[in-house]
């Protein structure tokens, strides 16, 4: 359709107008009661939909239980329009135990819902643009499942992503728009434009509005509607849904509407709005719709009675919500992770007549077997599709084997690569994605933190996110400052994700399978220097390849080298706790100390096999924690501190630590790189000092 303003027809059925009017009055009554009872309602920060009711209800009335919905924090009228009761929303407002979305864990207007008769509403963050990527991921999953024949496209399932106008300036919104157009996804971006951020006016924040901005995204259908006029909004959204359902393409709807409430309960409108409040009051959707109802023949007295009934009912529900129970404090820790089905090692790790393989090939074969077994699985990232199959050939030929709809390249969009998996998972696709180098993960951290890590916990387990994120990591041979970094400590400070770091081919295959089957976000760090076992001393990273049924549970360490009983008895032994390349530095160094060194390969950094660590401490009394990361404030130092605190009475020496020098980047020159990184000689010196302590 040619970009144009939707014309308002003269008639919309009066029953629909009355339904909308009742819900508008409901939303206003709620806002009024919240304001009159600030001591109760403003205990926790919240926003209301005052001024936005018309466009939100017009949108809600188009949605079906087969659709997917991504709202933003002002969208309470959408929720009312779907059929949620004021009481249910008030339970969230007051952080009550029976809050249907989060059990009192997250803010008002932040729903997560799986309920018969309603669209699926996955968890999301506070939705100032970040939600556009997971929402587009939902549409991407729908498109994939339809293309793969796993869903019927004739059902016309769509995703509605609601945005405030200020959020459209976010770079992540641009990434979402780009992919929606590139892949022609069935998604509607509803932008509600009230002309304000918090205290900043639109002209301070943007060079153009969302409708004008979207013109730069080729093939994005665009509509403008008067978001204060229910009739105009309803007919505009009808057209938007028609396009998305039937033509299976993205649509942007730009709806102008007034802001009649506070930005949030913590930022008072009277502090900065001035005469603008009176200007916006002239666009109040409620009197506009009331006049339209009167024009259709509705009696003013009947509308007055309806208004009074609504106010009474809302007050009753508010009073009831106040009396509802608070969450049980002891439940605070539940739902950090969803239970994983992989709890024990299965399959053959070293099958008879098996051949040795490299880590990179074992990982490739694991993904190949996953794609073959699970049609809902797909794999994407930068350069993993097409002819190249990854810059390390870690996806070689997979695109040719499974098709470009399953294994494909993305733009340089780390935020989309990571964040889209949240939407994919909510719809039922099972994504495996890749960040090309660990140094490139930073643009995706926002999505990893705000969307993936919190979803299971804040949705009370309704929306765990199955997401396997592969990340080549580590330094060797002059990779330089943007291809050599180690990032595990940053990742381990993000609660709600799992972090895996295999050191050999058998482990990477078993852990890859377990990570894929895990219903939680898993980041798999794969050391580039171990991929081919070409770095001197890493030959043992090449192992017999496990069979296709092999799985290795996350959170299980492995003693890869034992100390001799004689050296343990003589008190001349120690344990090295490490992972990744550290395993091979320790092995090389220990050749000079025969029988004295036990090496524990953690394999998974979160969850951590601390029981195995404790057992190693008890056996030897001396411990070195070894990492490739710069040591200061690292995971290794944290682990050393935990060992000191937990195992103090078993220690015969301080816990030693060794890592890279505390510098901001790995230098390009190989001699400088050697000076910065640990190596076998540095490890040997530390081991010798510790044994002699």
- For the annotated catalytic residues, the residue numbers are 483
Comparing C-alpha atoms, which of 496, 500, 480 is closest to residue 488?
500
Given a contact cutoff of 8 angstroms between Cβ atoms, the answer to whether 459 and 606 are in contact is: no
Angstrom CA distances, 286 to 29, 232, 283, stand at 12, 14, 9
Dihedral sign (CA 659, 663, 665, 667)? negative
Dihedral sign (CA 528, 529, 530, 531)? positive
Residue 671 exposed, middle or buried by CB count within 10 Å (0-12, 13-18, 19+)? exposed
CA atoms of 294 and 504, how far apart (whole Å):
75
Comparing C-alpha atoms, which of 60, 55, 54, 63 is closest to residue 25?
54
User: Residue 431: which H helix or E strand, with range?
Assistant: strand 430-434
Using N-to-C axis directions, what is the helix angle for 300-323 and 86-93, rounded to 10°? 40
Q: Classify 355 as helix, strand or coil.
A: coil
Residue ranges of E strands in 165-245: 187-193, 221-226
Comparing C-alpha atoms, which of 685, 687, 660 is closest to residue 576?
687
Per the listing, tokens 């945005």 go with 163
Residue 184 exposed, middle or buried by CB count within 10 Å (0-12, 13-18, 19+)? middle
Neighbours of 614 (CB within 10 A): 15
Strands of the sheet containing 4-5, edge to edge, are: 4-5, 221-226, 251-256, 187-193, 159-164, 68-70
């Amino acid at each position: 359709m040619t970009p144009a303003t939707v014309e308002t027809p003269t008639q919309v059925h009066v029953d629909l107008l009355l339904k909308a009017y009742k819900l508008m009055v409901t939303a206003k009554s709620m806002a009024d009661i919240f304001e009159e009872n600030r001591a109760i309602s403003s205990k926790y920060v919240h926003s209301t939909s005052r001024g936005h009711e018309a466009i939100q209800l017009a949108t809600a009335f188009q949605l079906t239980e087969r659709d997917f919905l991504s709202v933003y924090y002002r969208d309470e009228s959408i929720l009312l329009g779907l059929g949620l009761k004021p009481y249910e929303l008030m339970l969230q407002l007051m952080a009550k135990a029976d809050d249907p979305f989060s059990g009192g864990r997250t803010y008002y207007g932040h729903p997560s819902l799986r309920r018969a008769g309603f669209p699926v509403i996955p968890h999301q963050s506070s939705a100032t643009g970040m939600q556009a990527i997971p929402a587009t991921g939902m549409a991407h999953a729908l498109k994939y499942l339809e293309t793969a024949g796993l869903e019927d496209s004739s059902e016309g399932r769509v995703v509605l992503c609601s945005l405030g106008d200020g959020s459209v300036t976010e770079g992540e919104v641009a990434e979402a728009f780009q992919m929606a157009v590139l892949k022609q996804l069935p998604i509607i971006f509803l932008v509600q434009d009230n002309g304000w951020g918090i205290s900043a006016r639109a002209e301070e924040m943007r060079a153009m509005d969302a409708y004008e901005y979207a013109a730069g995204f080729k093939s994005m259908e665009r509509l403008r509607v008067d978001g204060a006029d229910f009739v105009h909004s309803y007919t505009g959204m009808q057209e938007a849904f028609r396009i998305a359902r039937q033509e299976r393409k993205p649509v942007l709807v730009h709806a102008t509407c007034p802001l009649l409430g506070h930005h949030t309960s913590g930022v008072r409108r009277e502090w900065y709005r001035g005469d603008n409040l009176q200007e916006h009051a002239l666009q109040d959707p409620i009197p506009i719709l009331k006049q339209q109802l009167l024009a259709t023949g509705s009696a003013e007295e009947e509308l007055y009675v309806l208004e009074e009934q609504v106010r009474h009912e809302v007050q009753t529900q508010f009073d009831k919500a106040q009396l509802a129970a608070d969450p049980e404090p002891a439940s605070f820790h539940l739902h950090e992770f969803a239970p994983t089905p992989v709890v024990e090692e299965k399959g053959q790790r070293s099958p008879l007549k098996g051949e040795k393989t490299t880590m990179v090939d074992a990982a490739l074969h694991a993904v190949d077997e996953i794609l073959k077994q699970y049609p809902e699985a797909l794999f994407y990232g930068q350069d993993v599709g097409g002819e190249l199959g990854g810059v390390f050939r870690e996806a070689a030929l997979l695109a040719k084997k499974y098709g470009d709809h399953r294994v494909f390249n993305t733009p340089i969009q780390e935020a989309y690569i990571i964040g889209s998996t949240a939407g994919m998972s909510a719809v039922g696709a099972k994504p495996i994605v890749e960040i090309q180098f660990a140094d490139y993960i930073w643009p995706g951290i926002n999505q990893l933190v705000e969307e993936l890590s919190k979803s299971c916990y804040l949705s009370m387990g309704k929306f765990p996110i199955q997401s396997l994120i592969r990340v080549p990591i580590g330094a060797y041979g002059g990779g330089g400052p943007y291809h050599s970094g180690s990032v595990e400590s940053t990742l381990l400070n993000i609660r709600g994700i799992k972090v895996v770091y295999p050191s050999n081919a058998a482990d990477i295959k078993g852990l890859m399978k377990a990570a894929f089957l895990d219903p939680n976000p898993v980041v798999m760090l794969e050391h580039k220097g171990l991929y081919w076992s070409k770095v001197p001393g890493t030959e043992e990273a090449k192992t017999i390849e496990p069979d296709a049924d092999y799985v290795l549970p996350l959170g299980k360490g492995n003693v890869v080298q034992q100390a001799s009983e004689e050296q343990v008895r003589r008190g001349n032994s120690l344990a090295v706790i490490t992972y990744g390349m550290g395993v091979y530095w320790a092995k090389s160094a220990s050749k000079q100390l025969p029988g004295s060194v036990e090496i524990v390969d953690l394999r998974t950094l979160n969850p951590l096999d601390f029981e195995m660590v404790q057992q190693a401490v008890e056996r030897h009394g001396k411990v070195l924690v070894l990492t490739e990361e710069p040591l200061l404030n690292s995971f290794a130092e944290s682990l050393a501190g935990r060992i000191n605190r937990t195992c103090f009475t078993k220690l015969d020496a301080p816990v030693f630590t060794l890592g890279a020098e505390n510098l901001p980047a790995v230098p390009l020159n190989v001699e400088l790189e050697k000076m910065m990184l640990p190596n076998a000689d540095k490890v040997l010196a530390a081991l010798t000092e510790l044994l002699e302590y």
